């Protein structure tokens, strides 16, 4: 049995892409170990098994900057020495250096999994020196990988052109697993969500991180004007307090519920009762412009019409499958909500969603990953 070791600079459990890839490989009879990092937020996850995947959570005392990265390198190296992987899988640029260093020392294949355009992420805006260091690392190491994979065609084309790669990276999109609706209990849905659903004719949902560039301020302003609509906000992040103030300022506390971060099965149940799902990314960076968020596929799997922003990857999927609306401003979003109040419109879109679901799911997309591994092992 081939042993795969994945490195991820997160707690693993809340990174849907890593979880899906690891569990898929474990189901395909690979031995899978994930070296993750304790984030210091919420419940501390320890070493253990989840759905066939061994998760080793590494504790790092440094909170940020160069010290944290150096400590992560050392911790990963110590852990890797006790393992005997046949292949190493680096999730994103911040784990690529330790992964490459170990892969080279053992003569094993390295996969670089680029979740986004790391150099264009919002966290590196205005940090020219740090960005330059990461740029050197990516330019040097991307050619050392046996395979490069990423999340969408736009990023794949960008990486191939930027680094003059012989082969375009393999595109494995962040599509959701089809929810097992028979296992989702209505009692798991938070009381405040059920109350909102019972009071409002229509309910929209936003799921994901609460941070800049996700259209959250705009969405709340739209809800203020759309009197027939309530809104469920599922997620946590740095904008949570600001968003609470915004909702109070707009005096729409009775029409918006903020649930915080939910467990996957609860989130699936909450999404399933919505009449529309927001996937409104603002192009504040090139990484955001090329975004293809998990939530888009999750809305499709739940049969929820999508209201998306006019960005290449989002536009392509919504237009190709006719699963919702492309909007560029508040007025267009408001019009989309009004259109969904007409039964004939929502019914047609839901029929399209049902047809699109088998294509836009992890069961279909994940086959590309197993095919890639078969070539490398």
Q: Alpha-carbon distance 87 to 109, whole Å?
A: 5
**272-299 tens-digit pLDDT:** 999 999 999 999 999 999 999 999 999 9
Please give the full DSSP string across 84-99, using - where no structure is assigned: --SEEEEESGGGHHHH
Pick the most confident of 70-84, 106-120, 125-139, 183-197: 106-120
CA Rg value for the chain? 21
The predicted structure's pLDDT at residue 264: 81
Higher local confidence (pLDDT), 195 or 74:
195
Mean pLDDT, residues 135-139 taken together: 95
pLDDT tier at 68 (50, 70, 90 boundaries)? Answer: confident
- Check whether residue 206 and residue 138 sit in a common domain: no
- Check whether residue 154 and residue 229 sit in a common domain: no
Pick the most confident of 157-171, 184-198, 284-298: 157-171
pLDDT at 43 over 50: no
Q: Find where tokens 């504040």 sit.
A: 284
Q: Which residues pair with 54 in a beta bridge?
A: 33, 49
Is the CB of residue 202 less than 8 Å from the CB of residue 179? no
The predicted structure's pLDDT at residue 180: 63
| DSSP category for residue 59 | P
The predicted structure's pLDDT at residue 40: 57
Contacts of 234 (CB under 8 A, 6+ apart): 205, 206, 207, 208, 259, 260, 261, 262, 267, 270, 271
**195-246 tens-digit pLDDT:** 999 999 999 999 999 999 999 999 999 999 999 999 999 999 999 999 999 9
- Check whether residue 225 and residue 95 sit in a common domain: no
Number of domain units in the chain: 2
| DSSP category for residue 8 | -
- Check whether residue 187 and residue 273 sit in a common domain: yes
Contacts of 304 (CB under 8 A, 6+ apart): 205, 271, 272, 274, 275, 276, 277, 353
Is the CB of residue 45 less than 8 Å from the CB of residue 57? yes
Share of the chain above pLDDT 70, in %: 94
- Check whether residue 326 and residue 186 sit in a common domain: yes
What is the domain extent for residue 118? 3-175+362-376
Residue 64's region, left for phi above 0, alpha for psi from -120 to 50, else beta, is beta
Phi, psi (5° rounding) for residue 2? -70, 140
Helix (H) or strand (E) holding 218: helix 216-225
* CATH number of 283's domain: 3.40.50.2000
| Three-class SS of 267-317 | HHHHHHCCCEEEECCCCCCHHHHCCCCHHHHHHHHHCCCEEEECCHHHHHH
Q: Find where tokens 């253990």 sit.
A: 48
pLDDT tier at 122 (50, 70, 90 boundaries)? Answer: confident
C-alpha distances in angstroms, 40 versus 60, 109, 240? 9, 32, 18
Q: Alpha-carbon distance 315 to 292, whole Å?
A: 10
Indicate the average pLDDT of the chain: 92
Question: End-to-end distance of the chain based on CA atoms, in angstroms?
Answer: 10
Mean pLDDT, residues 173-188 taken together: 71
- Check whether residue 165 and residue 281 sit in a common domain: no
- Check whether residue 224 and residue 316 sit in a common domain: yes
Strand 31-37 relative to strand 53-58, pairing: parallel
Phi, psi (5° rounding) for residue 207? -130, 140
The predicted structure's pLDDT at residue 187: 64
Mean pLDDT, residues 320-324 taken together: 98
Q: Which among 141, 28, 7, 90 has a CA at the least distance from the CA of 377?
A: 28
**78-109 tens-digit pLDDT:** 889 889 999 999 999 999 999 999 999 999 99
Within 13 A of 102's CA, how many CA atoms are on the CB side?
A: 27
- Check whether residue 169 and residue 266 sit in a common domain: no
- Check whether residue 136 and residue 66 sit in a common domain: yes
- Check whether residue 11 and residue 67 sit in a common domain: yes
- Check whether residue 161 and residue 212 sit in a common domain: no
Mean pLDDT, residues 331-348 taken together: 98
Contacts of 140 (CB under 8 A, 6+ apart): none
- Check whether residue 15 and residue 118 sit in a common domain: yes
Please give the full DSSP string across 158-206, using - where no structure is assigned: HHHHHHT-SSPPEE---PPPPP-GGG--GGGS-HHHHHHHHH-SEEEEE
Contacts of 257 (CB under 8 A, 6+ apart): 190, 192, 193, 196, 230, 231, 232, 233
Q: Which of 23-37, 98-112, 141-155, 260-274 has the lowest mean pLDDT?
A: 260-274
Share of the chain above pLDDT 90, in %: 76
The predicted structure's pLDDT at residue 47: 67
Q: Find where tokens 């049969």 sit.
A: 303
Higher local confidence (pLDDT), 318 or 267:
318
| pTM of the complete model | 0.89
- What number of other Cβ atoms are within 10 A of residue 261's Cβ? 17
pLDDT at 38 over 90: no
């Amino acid at each position: 049995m081939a042993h795969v070791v994945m490195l991820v600079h997160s707690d693993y459990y809340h990174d849907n892409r890593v979880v899906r890839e690891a569990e898929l490989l474990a189901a395909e009879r690979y031995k899978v170990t994930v070296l993750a990092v304790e984030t210091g937020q919420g419940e501390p996850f320890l070493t253990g098994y989840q759905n066939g995947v061994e998760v080793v959570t590494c504790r790092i005392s440094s909170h940020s900057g160069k010290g944290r990265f150096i400590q992560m390198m050392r911790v990963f190296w110590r852990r890797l020495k006790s393992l005997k992987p046949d292949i190493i899988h680096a999730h994103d640029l911040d784990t690529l250096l330790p992964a490459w260093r170990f892969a080279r020392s053992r003569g094993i294949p390295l996969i670089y999994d680029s979740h986004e355009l790391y150099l264009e992420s919002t966290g590196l805006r205005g940090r020219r020196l740090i960005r330059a260091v990461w740029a050197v690392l990516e330019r040097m190491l991307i050619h050392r990988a046996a395979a490069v994979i990423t999340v969408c065609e736009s990023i794949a084309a960008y990486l191939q052109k930027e680094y003059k790669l012989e082969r375009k990276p393999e595109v494995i999109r962040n599509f959701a697993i089809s929810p097992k609706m028979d296992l989702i209990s209505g009692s798991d849905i938070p009381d405040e969500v059920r109350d909102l659903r019972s009071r409002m004719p229509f309910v929209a949902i936003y799921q994901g991180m609460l941070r800049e560039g996700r259209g959250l301020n705009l969405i709340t302003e739209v809800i203020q004007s759309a009197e027939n609509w309530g809104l469920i906000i599922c997620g946590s992040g740095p904008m949570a307090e600001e968003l609470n103030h915004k909702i109070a300022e707009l005096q729409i506390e009775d029409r918006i519920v903020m649930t915080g971060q939910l467990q996957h099965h609860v989130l699936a149940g909450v999404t399933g009762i919505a009449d529309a799902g927001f996937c409104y990314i603002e192009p504040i960076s090139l990484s955001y412009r090329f975004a293809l968020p998990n939530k888009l596929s999750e809305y499709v799997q739940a049969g929820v019409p999508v209201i998306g922003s006019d960005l290449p990857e989002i536009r392509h999927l919504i237009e190709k499958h006719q699963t919702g609306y492309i909007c560029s401003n508040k007025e267009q979003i408001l019009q989309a909500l009004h259109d969904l109040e007409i039964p004939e419109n929502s019914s047609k879109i839901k029929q399209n969603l049902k047809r699109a679901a088998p294509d836009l799911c992890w069961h279909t997309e994940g086959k590309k990953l197993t095919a890639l591994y078969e070539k490398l092992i």
